Amino acid sequence: MKRAKEIALKIRDAESVVVISHIDADGITAGSIAARSLERLGKDYRVEFVKQLDSRKIEELKDENPPLVWFTDLGSGMIHEMYGLNAVITDHHVPSSLHVVIPKHARKNLRTFFEEMSRTDVLHLNPHLFGKNGAVDISGAGTTYLVARELDRRNVDLSALAIVGAVGDLQDSEYLKLIGTNRIILKEAKEHGFVDYFLDARFFGRETRPIYKMLQYSTDPILPTLTGDEKACINFLRELGIPLKRENWRRWIDLTFEEKRLILSELVKLILRMGYGHELAERLIGEVYILTKEERGTPLRDAKEFATLLNACGRYNKAIIGYNVCLGDRDSSYKEALKMLNRHRRNLVEGLNFVKEIGLIKREYLQYFHAGDRINENIVGIVASMLLSEETREELPIIAFANSEDGNIKVSVRSPRSLVNRGLDFSIIMKEASAKVGGYGGGHNIAAGASIPRGKEEEFIEIVEKMIKKMLDK
pLDDT 10s digits, 367-389: 999 999 999 998 999 899 888 86
Average pLDDT score, the chain: 91
Asked if residue 412 has pLDDT above 80, the reply is: yes
CB atoms closer than 10 angstroms to residue 73: 33
- DSSP code of residue 295: P
pLDDT of residue 175: 93
Is the dihedral angle over the CA atoms 275, 276, 282, 285 positive or is it negative?
negative
Q: Is residue 243 part of a domain?
A: no
- DSSP code of residue 254: G
Q: Is residue 191 part of a domain?
A: no
CB 451 within 8 A of CB 416: no
Helices 332-358 and 303-315 pack at an angle, to 10 degrees, of 80
Q: What are phi and psi of 376, to 5 degrees?
A: -55, 135
Q: Is residue 80 part of a domain?
A: yes
* Range(s) of the domain holding residue 59: 2-155
- CATH code of the domain covering residue 120: 3.90.1640.30
pLDDT of residue 100: 47
The residue with greater pLDDT, 117 or 273, is 273
Q: Which residues contact 339 (CB under 8 A, 6 or more apart)?
A: none
Q: Is residue 93 part of a domain?
A: yes
- Based on the number of CB atoms within 10 Å of its own CB, is 64 exposed (0-12), middle (13-18) or buried (19 or more)? exposed
Q: Is residue 213 part of a domain?
A: no
- CATH code of the domain covering residue 371: 3.10.310.40
Q: Is residue 402 part of a domain?
A: yes
Largest Cα separation within the chain, whole Å, is 73
Residue type (1 letter), 412: S
Distance CA 197, CA 291 (A): 9
Query: What distances in angstroms separate CA 135 from CA 31, 207, 445, one per listed residue?
Result: 19, 26, 7
- Out of 155, 178, 211, a domain closes at 155
Query: What distances in angstroms separate CA 289 from CA 55, 131, 183, one per listed residue?
Result: 37, 27, 12
Residue (of 365, 366, 402, 406) closest to 383 by Cα position: 402
pLDDT of residue 97: 59
CB atoms closer than 10 angstroms to residue 403: 19
Residue (of 3, 53, 1, 5) closest to 31 by Cα position: 53
- Out of 155, 186, 201, a domain closes at 155
pLDDT of residue 114: 42
Distance CA 90, CA 20 (A): 11
Q: Is residue 444 part of a domain?
A: yes
Distance CA 438, CA 433 (A): 9
Q: Which residues contact 267 (CB under 8 A, 6 or more apart)?
A: 223, 281, 284
Asked if residue 406 has pLDDT above 80, the reply is: yes
Residue (of 463, 441, 444) closest to 452 by Cα position: 441
- Out of 155, 175, 208, a domain closes at 155
Distance CA 29, CA 326 (A): 7
- DSSP code of residue 78: G
Q: Is residue 278 part of a domain?
A: no
pLDDT of residue 121: 77
Give the whole-number percent of the chain exceeding pLDDT 90.
Answer: 76
Given pLDDT bands bounded at 50, 70 and 90, which one contains residue 108?
low
Given pLDDT bands bounded at 50, 70 and 90, which one contains residue 94?
confident
pLDDT of residue 115: 45
- DSSP code of residue 396: -
pLDDT of residue 105: 52
How many domains is the chain built from? 2
